[in-house]
Structure 1
Amino acid sequence: MTSAPSPLAHLWTAARALFDRMRAAIGEAADIAKRDRLPQHELTEARRWLRTLEIMVRRLVLIEASALRRHAHALATRIVRLANLVAPKPAKRASAHRVSFRLWPRQPPHPARIRMLGPPVLVRDIWRDQNRAVQAQRLKAARFIRTPEPQRIASRIEALDRVLSRPERAARRLARRLHVSPATAQRIAAQRPPRHSFADSRLEDEIGARAMRCAHDTS
Structure 2
Amino acid sequence: MTDIAAPINTEPLWTRARASFARAVAAIGDAAAIAMLTALPKKLRRQIIAWLCPLEHVVRKLLLAEAAELHRAHREAAARAAAGPRLVLIPLKGMYMGPPRAENGTAALRAACAAEPRAPTSTRRRQPDLSRPETWRARFSLALPRDPRLVPESRAPRIRPLWGPTPPPPPPPPERAPRVIREEDAPFRLARRFEALRRVLENPKPHAERLAHILARETRRWTQIAQRYWMRPCRTNDYDPDDPRLSLDAFGASHDGQYVFSDSS
Above 0.5 in TM-score?
A: yes
What stretches of structure 1 of length at least 5 have no aligned partner?
1-5, 76-93, 114-121
* Cα shift at 1:71: 1.4
Identify the residue that residue 196 of structure 1 maps to in structure 2.
238
Residues 157-205 of structure 1: per-residue CA shift (max 9 Å, x gap): 1000111111011111111112101344223211222333525342222
Give, in angstroms, the shift of residue 23 of structure 1. Answer: 1.2
Structure holding more helix per residue: 1
Aligned to 1:32: 34
Match status 1:215 vs 2:258:
yes
Following TM superposition, where does structure 1 have runs of at least 4 consecutive aligned residues deviating by more than 3 angstroms?
Answer: 108-113, 122-125, 144-147
- Equivalent residues of 2:50, 2:239 under 8 A apart: no
Distance in structure 2 (CA, Å) of the matches to 1:69 and 1:123: 48
Provide the rounded CA distance (Å) in 2 between the counterparts of 1:197 and 1:176: 30
* Equivalent residue pairs, number: 180
Cα distance in 2 for partners of 1:111, 1:44 equals 36
Question: Counterpart of 1:63?
Answer: 65
Alignment-mate amino acid for residue 155 of structure 1: R
Rate the CA distance shift 1:196–1:59 in 2: closer, same or farther, 3 A.
same
The alignment yields a C-alpha RMSD, in angstroms, of 3.1
Change (3 A) 1:147 1:106: farther
- Which of these residues, 123, 126, 138, is aligned with residue 99 of structure 1? 138
1:178 aligns with 2:201: no
Q: Percent identity?
A: 32
CA contact (8 A) 1:190 1:212 kept: no
For normalisation by structure 1, the TM-score amounts to: 0.70
Distance in 1 between residues matched to 2:39 and 2:227, nearest whole Å: 36
Q: How does 1:1-219 map to 2 (within 5 A)?
A: 7-72=9-74, 95=135, 98-107=137-146, 124=169, 127-128=171-172, 131-133=173-175, 135=176, 137=177, 140=178, 142-144=179-181, 148-182=185-219, 183-193=224-234, 194-196=236-238, 198=240, 200-219=243-262
Q: For residue 80 of structure 1, what is the aligned residue in structure 2?
A: none
Q: 1 or 2 for the larger relative contact order (CA 8 Å, sep ≥6)?
A: 2
| Residues 49 and 72 of structure 1, relative CA distance in 2, 3 Å threshold | same
Q: Report the TM-score when normalising by structure 2.
A: 0.59
Mapped contact 2:54–2:238 kept (Cα < 8 A):
no
Structure with the greater alpha carbon radius of gyration = 2
Change (3 A) 1:188 1:146: farther
Is residue 38–residue 184 contact of structure 2 (8 Å, CA) maintained in 1?
no
| 1:145 CA displacement | 5.7
Task: Give the Å deviation of 1:18.
Answer: 0.8
Q: Which amino acid aligns with 1:66?
A: A
Paired residue secondary structure (2:194) = helix
Structure 2: any 5+ residue segments left out of the alignment? Answer: 1-7, 78-133, 156-166
Show CA shifts across 1:34-58 (max 9, x none): 1122110110121222111111101
Separation in structure 2 between the aligned mates of residue 59 and residue 205 of structure 1, nearest angstrom:
10
Q: In 2, are the aligned partners of 1:104 and 1:184 still within 8 Å (CA)? A: no
